[in-house]
Structure formats: C-alpha cells, structure tokens
Amino acid sequence: MATIYIDNKAYEVKEGKNLLETCLTLGFNLPYFCWHPAMGSVGACRQCAVKVFKDETDTRGRITMSCMESVSNELRLSISDADAVQFRANIIEWLMTNHPHDCAVCDEGGSCHLQDMTVMTGHNYRRFEYKKRTYQNQYLGPFINHEMNRCIQCYRCVRFYKDYAGGKDLDVFAAHNHVYFGRSEDGILQNEFSGNLAEVCPTGVFTDKTLKEHYTRKWDFTSAPSVCQHCSLGCNIIAAERYGELRQITSRYNGEVNGYFICDRGRFGYEFVNSPLRIKEAKLRDENSKDLNKKNLLNKTSALITPGKTIGIGSPRTSMESNFALRKLIGAENFYQGISEQEASLHKLILEVMNSGIAYIPSLKEVEEADAILVLGEDLHNSAPMLALAVRQAIQKGPSELKTSLPAWHSLALKEFIQQEHAPLFIANPLKTQLDELAQASLNLSPAEIIQLGYAIAHHIDSASPIEHLLSESLLKEAKAIAKALSKAKKPLIITGTSSMQEGLVKAAANIAKSLKTANLCFVEHECNSLGLAMMDAPPLEEAMKHVFLNDTDTVIILENDLYRRTSSGNVDRFFEACKEIIVIDHLHNKTTQKASVLIPTGTFAESDGTLINNEGRAQSFFQALNAKNELIQESWRWLNELFSLQKGISIKDRTSPHELLEEIAIAMPQFKGIAQAVLQSDFRINGQRIPREPHRYSGRTAMNAHDNVSEPKPAQDLDTPMSFTMEGYRGEPPSSIIPFYWSPGWNSVQSVNKFQIEIGGALHGGDPGIRLINNKEGMSSYYDNNFVPIELKDQEWLAIPVQHIYGSDELSIHTPGVTERSPQPYIGLNKLDAENLNLQDGSKVTFETDGEEVTLPLRIITELPRKVAILPHGLQDFNCHLPIILRIKNLKKSR
Amino acid sequence: MERPLTKNIHIDRPPLNLKEYEMTGGYKSVRNALKNMSPEEVRSLIQESNLKGRGGAGFNTGMKWSFVPKGPDAPATKYLIANADEMEPGTFKDRLLLEGNPHQLIEGMIVSSYAIQATTAYIFLRWAYKEAALRIRQAIHEAYEAGYLGKNILGTELNLEMHLHTGAGRYICGEETALLNSLEGKRASPRAKPPFPQVSGLFGKPTIVNNVETLCNIPHIVNHGADWFRSLSYSEDGGTKLYGVSGRVKKPGIWELPMGITMRQLVEEYAGGMQKGYNFRGALPGGASTDFLTEQHLDIKMDFKTVSAAGSRLGTGTMIVLDDHTCPVGFVHNLQHFFAQESCGWCTPCREGLPWVERILLSIEKGEGRLEDLDLLSFHTTYLGPGSTFCALAPGAMEPLQSALKYFREDFERHIHDKKCPYNGNHIH
C-alpha cells in the first residue's frame, strides 16, 4: 500500500497500479479513451491528464497522463487543477473537430463513452470552423456495422482485435488525421471476438449490426442479467428486450469468468429466440391447438402422467431447475439424462476427476494466470471460444522467467519487451487451431496418438504413471519436451474436453495433472449445463430407451431435447414407436417436437429464470428479460412444477420460486450443496424496493401498447426474483448477481461497470456472482490405466471424428441469420493423400455408410489431418451425434 | 582549423574505398579500441569528450551509453542503430557524411558497438537517400571482406553484424522509438518512454540509437583523445559541428566548423550574406522544428546551451533563413503542412491539433483570417507543448509557430486586416 494525495487529500492505495485506475477505483470521475482495464495503458488519447507535483512545495506541477504513471508513495496529484481541467477539455475539443454531430441517429447515442466524456470535461462550444474529414465505410459481415466518420482514433479496436484477440483482418491504415481503422478491403471480420469491438469502441464506429435490425436505445431496454447458453463456459451476459423481442446481448462483467468480453456466438446467437421456429402453440394429439389454454393443457397433460409408468428425459441445454422439476415430477428413478451413454460416461469420468482433488479447476480468470499450457484434443476457438481468449492472454504474458520491472498496465511497453517470447503452449489436435501460432509445438495427431502422447507426458514426469503405447520416436521426443516445460512451470494448466468424445483424453489429462502435483486442469463440455446434468448422476438415454422397450411405460416426457442429436435416428425412431405418449417441452421446432403427441411450448433463456453449471462447476443464474404475451410461454420448470402440483393435488397458486427449487435440489442431491446461494430469495429488497429491469429514463411505456388499449397496462409482475419489470425501484447499485444493466450518473456507456467494481478490473462489489460447487477433496489415489486398444481400419474404413464449429455446432445459435451465414455447409474432411488415393478432389461428393444410413457429402481436403481420420462437423447433421465411429467410404469412383 | 569529419570528403570524387580509407588512417580506432581499451574505457572516454548527440537533442553520448544494462544479468543481445533517417526540413548534413565517407560511419559504429557490447547494428536510412544507400552497401561489403565486420573482428572476441535498412519515407521514423517500431516491421508510431530504448529497445533488447554525425565523431575521439576533441570547439560542447545554411543567402551550403561559431559568422562569412535585394529577417537555427531567431541573436554562439538560452534550439545545426520578401505566415504554414502530414496519428493533440493549425494559417494566408484565429494559434502553441503530446513532433512543430507569432505578429495582423497576403503569397516552397 502507498499513500498518495489527490487534491491534497490523503488516500491509501494499492501499489503497482497506474494513477488512472487508482483514481477510478477511488470513485473519481476521470475521463479516458485509449486505456481499457483489460488492455492496459498506451498513453495515446491524452484524455486522462492530471497534474502531478514533485512535493508539497511544488505549486506548478506538470501535466501527466494518469494512465502512464505508477502509484508511488507520497505522490501528489490534482484532478481539479485548472490546467488539467482545461487540458482535458482541449482533448475533447480536438476530437470533436472531426466527429460528426450525428448523435441523434447514431446507434451509440445514449450509451456512448464519448458523449459521457464530453459532458464530463465540459467542452461544449465548437471553435473549429473548417470541413471535417470523411471516410468510406466498409462491409464487415453480418455482425458489425462500420461508420468510420465517428472515429476518435483511440486505437482500442485494433488493440483489442489484433493484440488481445489475435485477429488478423482489422488494422490501422494511413497516418496523421486520416488514420483508418478497418480491413484492407470490405469483408467479413474473421475473428471470433469481433462483437466486442462494439463495446470496446468508445463511440459509434463499430456497432452491433443485429441490433440495427430492431434498434432500441439503451435507456429503452428492459434488461436482465443472464448467462450465455451456447457453450459450457457460462459467460455472463445482459439480455435486452423491447416490444416483446430479444434485441441485444452484451457482455456482463464477471471478474472470475468472462471479464469484460464474450465471443461472437454468445453475442450474436440470440436471435433464435425470435426465430420463426419458435413453438408458440401447444399441441395435444389431434386437438385444435387454438382451444388449448394453459389450464386445460395442464389438466390434459397431467392425465397422461401415471406414476411409475412415466419416464422423463432431461437435457444438458436447460436449467438445473427444469431438470430437477422433471425429476421431481416423475421420480428420481424414472429420470434419465438426455445424452448418449458415451457422452454420459465421459461426463461421469470428468466429474470423477474434478472431484478427485488431483488438480485445481481454474476459472477463466485463473486460466489467464497459467505459465505453461497443454491443450489435448480441443480446438478452443470453436469449442469454448472465451477459453481460447484466456489461453492467449496467459501465453502472451511471456514465460515466467522473463523478468521485467515494467508494471502490468504498461501494455505496449510490455508487448515490445516480450515480443515473440511466449509462455510455453503445446497443442495436440487432429486439426490446426488458431492458437497454434502461439504454440511452441502444435501437433496434428489422430485421437489415439493424442491420448498416447498424454500418457507419455505423464509417464515422463512420474514414472509411476502408466507408460504410453505405440508412439513414434519423434512424438516421444515431443512428449519429453512438453513434460519438461510443464514440470518447470509454476502454474501449469492442462486443457481437454469432450469435443472428440474420447475417455482416454480425460484419463491422460488426469494422469498428467496428478504427475505434476500442482497442476490446473480444465475441461470443456458441449453444452451450457452439461456438467450440471452430469452431476445429477442419472442413467443415460440408452437406458431410458431400454426401459421403454422392456417395461410397460405409458408416457415419456422429453425436456428441451432433440433426441435426434443424441443418438442414431434409427434408435430414436424405434424408441418413439414404442412410446405411447410423447410429451415434449421445448421452444424451437425440431425433429423430436414433430414426434410429440403433446407439445408444450416453453421459454427460452430470455423468457426464463434458471441456473446453469458451467465447466468449472460454477452455478450461475440467469433471469427473465422477456415477457411473452402468451401464457403458454413459461419456464419448463414452471410447467413441470404445475404438473407436479396437479398430480399431488396441491393448489397451483402455491408457486415455488427458483430459490426454493434450488434449495430442494441441494436437499435431494447433496452434490449440489450451496447451489441456492446462486440466487437471492424472491423477497429480497433494498430499502423495501425491487431492482428495476428498466432504467429511470425508460420511455414509451404509456404509448407502446396504445394502439391496442389507451389505458396503460399493469406492468408484468415478477414473483420469482427481487427484480421488477418496471422502471420503478431501487436506484442504487444492485447485488452483483442481479445487475440488469450498467449505469451510473454521468456514465451511460458500458464503461460504467467501473462503478460496480471493488477495484477497477477486479471483483464486483459483493463478489463476482456464481457459486463453485466442486470443491475437490478426495484425492485421486492411483493413475488411470492406459487401456490402449488399437483400431484396425480396413482399406475403405476411416475413423470419423467430430469437429466443432463456433458457427454451426451449437443447436440453438444456428437459428440466427448471421450465424447461419457464417456456418459451414455439412462436409466430410479427409487428408490430402487419403483423398488422392480415393481419386477425390476438394468438393467431390463422398458417399459413405454410417449406422446403416448412406450419406453423401462434399469433400474438404484438409492437409494437416492425420491419415485414415475423417472429420464431420458436429451438430450440422443428425448422424454426426454418435461419433467417433468407423465409417465406410463407398465411392471409389471418380466424381468430377 | 581541423575538420576531422569532412577532411576526406570531396564532392567532386566518389567516397574513399576501404583501402584508400585505411591509408588515411581509417579503422585505426577499431584497432585502438578493441586491442587497447575495455568497452567501459571507450564509453567513459566518449563521455569525457563531451560529445553531444548531433540529432538535435544534444544529450551527452557517453552518458546515454551508460544506461545500457551491463553485467551477467543483462540481456546478451544488444543493438546499435545509426539514425540516418534525415528528414528534418532544411537539414542535409548527414547526407554529406553518408555519401561522402560511409566508412567513417561504419568505423564509428564498430567502436560504438564494442563500447555497448552490441552484436548487431543497423543503419536506418532515409528512403530518398538512394545514392547513400548504394555507397553504404558497398562500404559494408568491403568492411565484411576486410574482417571489420562479422565474427571475431580483428581476431578479437567481438562479433558484429551490420545491416542497412532503408525506410519508407516517414518523418516520424527519425524519432528513435518510432524508428524501432518501423525497423521491427510495425507501424511507425513512437513508443512510450520509459522504458527507454537503452533498456528495452529493438525487439525488446537494450538498444542505442545515435545520429550519423554523432557516430562519425567516435573514431576521431578514440584516436585523438577527449582533450583534443574538446579543444576543437569554441564552446563547452566538444568537437566540430556540421553547420548548414539555406534560404536566400549568396552561398547556401554546409561546413564543418568548430562548435560554437556565431550565427553571424555562419550567415555572413560562410554563406556569403544575403542575396542582393534581400534582407535577413530571421532564421530557424537547427531545422524546421526550432524557434526563429532574429537579427538581435546574430552574435550568439551556435552551441546547444547558448541557442537554448536565446529561446531556440541548436537542433541539427542547419539553418533556414527567412528574408524580407518571404511571407512569414506562408513560411510557417508550409512547415505546419509538413508537420500535420507527418504526424503519425497516435496521440490526439498532434493528430487533431496540427491540421487545425495548418487550416488556420492557410485561411490567414488567403486573407480569410480573423483576429480570434491568433488566439487559437496561441492556444495550440501552449497546449501542444512538451509533455502534452506523446512525442516531440508537435512540440517541435510549435516552435517556429510560437516564435513567428512573437517576432512577426504584425505580419499576421496585416494579413487579417488587409484580407490578403501582403507578400502576394510569396514564400519558400
């Protein structure tokens, strides 16, 4: 700690920080542009000037950029000094010489950092009388809109895109007052994190193009704290509604999880909520769905549920509450995980390792602190994008032995000092990944080789760990080098996951972690609640099918799950034929909903409260942003609870809140102990007030429904959470788990998050939200055996493995126009030599047989892919769900 | 009068090749230093000689070298860079040394590399110096052939690789940290200091960037000693200096003269005085980014300290003379056009302020100015001063403007009052 004096008042502050972040932490309003808490200081914009004095007797002082000066004991500075105030106003005046006066038609207006800083500095009168410079804008793809005339050249966009996120196709061009931020030519921004440009840009140069389609000012949104549904990481998001439509997703700060950013799938994948595929009407056998109101739907559905003769199939893409409500309704013994046996056993194994205590399971923030990383069989940019971003930050910090006195905030100087000396990163994956460019070694291997490489590394570190099988000399050498680098590291991290569906990977990763003793271990799963469902420890889908085939089961309830994505369609078809009643609860039409005898609509995450458990075992709650004007659209757990009440003869009005449900979960399943802390009780109030989802400047509520009814309708009630669907309520800072939007007086933009943090870039006041449920303790007693079974492949046989695509592999986000545009068409990928042997060219039609089905797909030749391995994109076609399998390629004739 | 830097330069013949250069005593300092002196002895000799950086800032060269980390913990890789990106308007002194005697620079760089224990050296050359590039390339080749460059120079443990890098034509590359970024293949924006290049420079390693003229002095100091070097000067700054004069003088040119010669001697004696019909109104003493001096300053010594005391800077020591037929507003506008265009676009005051200044000056020059414009110009000279901007470009740009407003204010006012340029737009282009 150091004592500094700000305008002659003493403050105890942390050392190692710069003056800007220190002043902001202390609550001062000091304007800035180029500095960003996640990206550090570069001193370009000159906006954060203060006056620094030599000592008590110095009365003149010198103008200093607060972002470029470290805290030191006894330092004296002034924010209110007249010169400094004038200087800061001058900067805005200069920036405004070219900035258009188009706030009224600018998407950023009302949430614009430049507006806020302009007001803060007091600049208001234009003295520049000449023409402004203008630019041509570019087409940047379906996600980001470009309006360069608004640019104030803070350089944040390129620093984020290139330096922070590793993007290649956005840069700064030209010089002097004509610097240009864009691509070398029009085209789709390729980086998976491009959406953050909209938040990183302090004004309206880069804005959310999907928002433009249904534009709403920030102050007119009804927003709710939410959690991303599109991968297993559980990034925190804000979901924003207007006119009953979900219109924008922005990142919600969580210092432990996603920090300031989210990936483009998370940001732009939301439009499935407004998709024409939405199920808005119930279906009950042949009854006219128009006649089905909530009450008779419930009654008729309840009549189909016979205790003991009904089973339920849960889902990894819906909340703990919904899964539990189903389990409760039909009984624990009748509840099944809605995933294949293969995936379920993989998750079980992961949970076993996570619970074993051999390694710490890091949060995304902790991943950034690793000093040596090994990635086994995951292409993180496609399977868990924000984890890839965290890995990049860790590696770009440089090796731990690199010594420098430069403070962490001095980002460009550090970058220039570190240059290409990255911390050790090793990647073994069948395909190239975007992180390869940072890796000391990136090996494109078959799944079996990756697993054996993992065993070899563990064995090299600790000879008690089982030895590898069948590894080439050169790979053994690589294993040795990797083992050496991991052993040398203080915080080594092993990352693997379920992308390629290999138990061997999990075991090998666990062995490496155990051999290292102090390693961190991180697993990636497929879906947003994969781990939560796995923790419920129910039998897999195949068992449910077996149960139906063997027993006299009347009814199956399928919760938010398209079974055709889980196992072969033949199996699912046979299963459905065996079921008497198929009750499907879901929000988007799919192949399973078509088979439903009873179809119950449900809310998407945007219309729901719920809790998910992410890949580190962190329970995080999301909250309803949308009020569907349709009584049938409500959370699955509410339907199931209501059915439960009907079954038990309890009045439906005695509703259960999410908090109570979570408490029930913890009682019913001790592994969920503590989960209820993820949400506040519904009667939580501050000064007797609720937390409003709408800003106090919300407009139009008396007008927006006036075409229907001139009297203002009663706002929707929220009986489940401490939040309200109105603009009335507590105006101070909400608890960290229920921050619906970031706003603070004078800070209308997303930068207002500064005001919600204990220290800038640190935890939110009251701690970052989320409860970690896995507190490993048991201690893995022995290493996993190396059960190596060589795969024999005949001439026409290939081992088909799934590959993840950020745009396309996720079940829900694919129903968003921009994501569909970016998604690949189904294909089969083969090694170049394999293709040549088959006389096939890129684009040739390949016909293969899998699981009795004959499929034809265009070929993608993938140079680095190991021989005799075929890849199929996950999620794009049903038959891909049960990979890896051995497939027979049938066409050996040329097809040109 | 001794002229160590230019004695072997003759404009009417090509530069000396290595053999010829050796016959005049060339590369002797390499032997002297490598065989008889420790690196630290070389460094302290240079510091003692009071050689000040000839790029314009005038910092003691030996002192600058002392900031390079030494000892077992210091990074093994270090770099020496000759800043030959001479783009200051009105400045052409390094060109003479580069085209006239490239071996002298190479010799200086070998000895300097030895002093700071650099193993790689770069010459960062202005793109337009095509002839110099050819000559340097030839000289480097000869030096490699003769064993002055490469591994185990003269049988010692010293290894030195030397490369010529030609720039792409950006003024900002003369700023040493922008030069480093450019040399690394990055955008030529300056870097924050600290960390200084001496500690974290090219590719993050300790780096010394010295001006060409500075480096060319090194062999002579090593050969003749610090006392000799100081004795060459008329002032406390050691050595000789390349002085140049341009503008409407009779004999514009460049001369190697004792440091501290007076401005009057330079203009009247060496440049032959003003051309017929033109009178001296003022001069930028050391390139475009120095303050005007006027007649009252003609008798000051042209050394770092004295010129500073007179309110300007010695800068590069190459003077641009303003005569009484040239419009000072147009003159300054021309300079500001250059500076605005050469701003790298990194920091706000420079990127946005300089074009504004240029627009104001243009409108005054066109007779469209208002009196308030003079306040706006002063506003910029105040707030684009040192410390306000990221590097020295904009503060340098403000020096001719602020002094023009001071010494030639009546010209500005007359433009505004008459609504036209009283010189009919006559100014140096």
Which secondary structure element, helix H or strand E, spans residue A241, and what is its range?
strand A236-242
pLDDT over 70 at A158, yes or no: yes
Q: How far is CA A248 from CA A71, A157, A207, B223, in A?
A: 39, 20, 11, 73
- Out of 3.90.650.10, 2.120.10.30, 3.40.50.720, 3.40.50.740, select the CATH number for domain A283-342+533-699+717-771: 3.40.50.740
On whether the CB atoms of residues A162 and A168 are closer than 8 A, the answer is: yes
- Three-state secondary-structure class, residue A267: helix
- Three-state secondary-structure class, residue B152: coil
Answer whether A43 sits within 8 Å of B387, measured CB to CB. no
Q: Measuring CA to CA, which residue among A64, A4, A62, A58 is closest to residue A30?
A: A64
User: Which single residue is written with the structure tokens 């200084």?
Assistant: B196
pLDDT, tens digit, 9 for 90 and up, residues A797-811 = 999 999 999 999 999
Q: What is the predicted ipTM? A: 0.95
Q: Measuring CA to CA, which residue among A720, A703, A702, A613 is closest to residue A657?
A: A720
Q: Residue B1's pLDDT is what?
A: 82
Which positions in chain B touch A46 (Cβ < 8 Å)? 347-349, 388-390
pLDDT, tens digit, 9 for 90 and up, residues A161-176 = 999 999 999 999 999 9
On whether the CB atoms of residues A349 and A372 are closer than 8 A, the answer is: no
Q: Which fold has domain A360-518?
A: Dimethylsulfoxide Reductase; domain 2 (3.40.228)
> How far, in whole angstroms, is CA A76 from its chain's centroid?
42
Domain over B240-323 is classified CATH 3.40.50.2300: no
- Give the separation between CA A192 and CA A264, rounded to whole angstroms: 6
- Nearest-10 crossing angle of helices B348-365, B393-407: 30
Distance from CA of A61 to the nearest CA of B (A): 12
Q: Is the peptide bond before B194 cis (omega within 30 degrees of 0)?
A: yes
**Range with the lowest mean pLDDT among A542-546, A786-790, B6-10, B48-52?**
A786-790
Q: How many CB pairs under 8 A join A and B?
A: 102
> How far, in whole angstroms, is CA A608 from its chain's centroid?
18
User: Tokens at residue B75, please?
Assistant: 């990074």
Which positions in chain B touch A128 (Cβ < 8 Å)? 356
Mean of pLDDT over chain A: 94
- Give the separation between CA B76 and CA B62, rounded to whole angstroms: 20
Ramachandran angles phi, psi of B253, nearest 5°: 175, -165
- Give the separation between CA B44 and CA B61, rounded to whole angstroms: 10
On whether the CB atoms of residues B304 and B338 are closer than 8 A, the answer is: no
Strand partners, A888: A797, A849
Read off the pLDDT band of A881 (50, 70, 90). low
DSSP label at B81? E
Domain extents for chain A?
A: 2-96, 283-342+533-699+717-771, 360-518, 797-889
User: Which residue stretches of A502-558 are H helix?
Assistant: 503-516, 530-535, 541-550
Q: Measuring CA to CA, which residue among B426, B89, B35, B135 is closest to residue B290?
A: B89
What is the phi-psi region of residue B400: left when phi exceeds 0, alpha when psi lies from -120 to 50, beta otherwise?
A: alpha
Answer whether A416 sits within 8 Å of B340, measured CB to CB. no
- Give the separation between CA A31 and CA A118, rounded to whole angstroms: 9
> How far, in whole angstroms, is CA A90 from its chain's centroid?
40
On whether the CB atoms of residues A521 and A615 are closer than 8 A, the answer is: no
pLDDT, tens digit, 9 for 90 and up, residues A363-403 = 999 999 999 999 999 999 999 999 999 999 999 999 988 88
Top pLDDT among A641 and A656 is at A641
Answer whether A97 sits within 8 Å of B342, measured CB to CB. no
Answer whether A97 sits within 8 Å of B352, measured CB to CB. yes
- Give the separation between CA B23 and CA B25, rounded to whole angstroms: 5
- Give the separation between CA B170 and CA B150, rounded to whole angstroms: 30
Q: End-to-end CA distance of chain B: give it in Å, rounded.
A: 35
Q: How far is CA B138 from CA A57, A501, B160, in A?
A: 59, 63, 17
- Give the separation between CA A809 and CA A822, rounded to whole angstroms: 11
Q: Is the dihedral of CA A865, A871, A875, A876 positive or negative?
A: positive
Which secondary structure element, helix H or strand E, spans residue A418, and what is its range?
helix A411-418
- Give the separation between CA B173 and CA B184, rounded to whole angstroms: 12
On whether the CB atoms of residues A730 and A691 are closer than 8 A, the answer is: yes
- Three-state secondary-structure class, residue A265: helix
Q: What residues contact residue A888 under an 8 Å CB cut-off, 6+ apart? A: A796, A797, A848, A849, A850
Helix, strand, coil in percent for chain A, rounding step 5: 35, 20, 50
Which positions in chain A touch B167 (Cβ < 8 Å)? none
Q: Residue A401's pLDDT is what?
A: 86
Q: What does each of the 429 residues of chain B score in pLDDT, given as a tens digit?
A: 899 999 999 989 999 999 999 999 999 999 999 999 999 999 999 999 999 999 988 999 999 999 999 988 899 999 999 999 999 999 999 999 999 999 999 999 999 999 999 999 999 999 999 999 999 999 999 999 999 999 999 999 899 999 999 999 999 999 999 999 999 999 999 999 999 999 999 999 999 999 999 999 999 999 999 999 999 999 999 999 999 999 999 999 999 999 999 999 999 999 999 999 999 999 999 999 999 999 999 999 999 999 999 999 999 999 999 999 999 999 999 999 999 999 999 999 999 999 999 999 999 999 999 999 999 999 999 999 999 999 999 999 999 999 999 999 999 999 999 999 999 867 554
- Give the separation between CA A659 and CA A641, rounded to whole angstroms: 14
Of B194, B359, B390, the CB nearest to A44: B390
Q: How far is CA B291 from CA B294, B312, B314, B319, B394, in A?
A: 10, 5, 10, 11, 13
User: Tokens at residue B50, please?
Assistant: 């009071």
On whether the CB atoms of residues A469 and A504 are closer than 8 A, the answer is: no
pLDDT over 80 at A653, yes or no: no
Reported residue count of chain B is 429
User: Tokens at residue A543, please?
Assistant: 């068992």
- Give the separation between CA A631 and CA A596, rounded to whole angstroms: 20
Q: Residue A656's pLDDT is what?
A: 80
The DSSP secondary structure of A97-129, one letter per residue, reads: TTS-S-GGG-TTTTS-HHHHHHHHHT-------
Give the class (CATH, top level) of B18-231.
Answer: alpha beta
Answer whether A412 sits within 8 Å of B192, measured CB to CB. yes
- Give the separation between CA A250 and CA A92, rounded to whole angstroms: 27
**Selected residue of B177, B184, B356 to mutate for chain A interface (largest A Cβ count, 10 A):** B356
User: Tokens at residue B275, please?
Assistant: 């051309």
Which residues of A have a CB under 8 Å from any CB of B? 42-47, 62-64, 68, 87, 90-91, 94-95, 97-98, 127-128, 130, 152-153, 155, 172, 174-179, 404, 406, 410, 412-413, 416-419, 421
The CATH number of the domain covering residues in A2-96? 3.10.20.740
On whether the CB atoms of residues A482 and A456 are closer than 8 A, the answer is: no
Answer whether B388 sits within 8 Å of A94, measured CB to CB. no
Exposed, middle or buried, A709 (CB in 10 Å: 0-12/13-18/19+)?
A: exposed
pLDDT, tens digit, 9 for 90 and up, residues A479-524 = 999 999 999 999 999 999 999 999 999 999 999 999 999 899 999 9
Reported residue count of chain A is 896
Read off the pLDDT band of A291 (50, 70, 90). confident
Q: End-to-end CA distance of chain A: give it in Å, rounded.
A: 72
Read off the pLDDT band of A34 (50, 70, 90). very high
Residue A371: other Cβ atoms inside 10 A: 22
The CATH number of the domain covering residues in B328-418? 1.20.1440.230
On whether the CB atoms of residues A815 and A272 are closer than 8 A, the answer is: yes
pLDDT, tens digit, 9 for 90 and up, residues A547-601 = 999 988 889 999 999 999 998 888 999 999 999 999 999 999 999 999 999 999 9
pLDDT, tens digit, 9 for 90 and up, residues A746-768 = 999 999 999 999 999 999 999 99
Answer whether A87 sits within 8 Å of B346, measured CB to CB. no
- Give the separation between CA A443 and CA A537, rounded to whole angstroms: 35
Of A42, A172, A413, the CB nearest to B187: A172
Q: What residues contact residue A120 under an 8 Å CB cut-off, 6+ apart? A: A29, A31, A746
Distance from CA of A440 to the nearest CA of B (A): 19
pLDDT over 50 at A895, yes or no: no
Which positions in chain B touch A153 (Cβ < 8 Å)? 345, 348, 351
Answer whether B387 sits within 8 Å of A62, measured CB to CB. yes
On whether the CB atoms of residues B115 and B43 are closer than 8 A, the answer is: yes
Of A64, A90, A419, the CB nearest to B203: A419
pLDDT, tens digit, 9 for 90 and up, residues A411-470 = 999 999 999 899 999 999 999 999 999 999 999 999 999 999 999 999 999 999 999 998
Domain over A797-889 is classified CATH 1.25.40.850: no
Q: Residue A613's pLDDT is what?
A: 98
Ramachandran angles phi, psi of A496, nearest 5°: -150, -175
**Range with the lowest mean pLDDT among A148-152, A224-228, A649-653, B165-169?**
A649-653
Q: What residues contact residue A219 under an 8 Å CB cut-off, 6+ apart? A: A110, A695, A697, A698, A699, A748
Domain extents for chain B?
A: 18-231, 240-323, 328-418
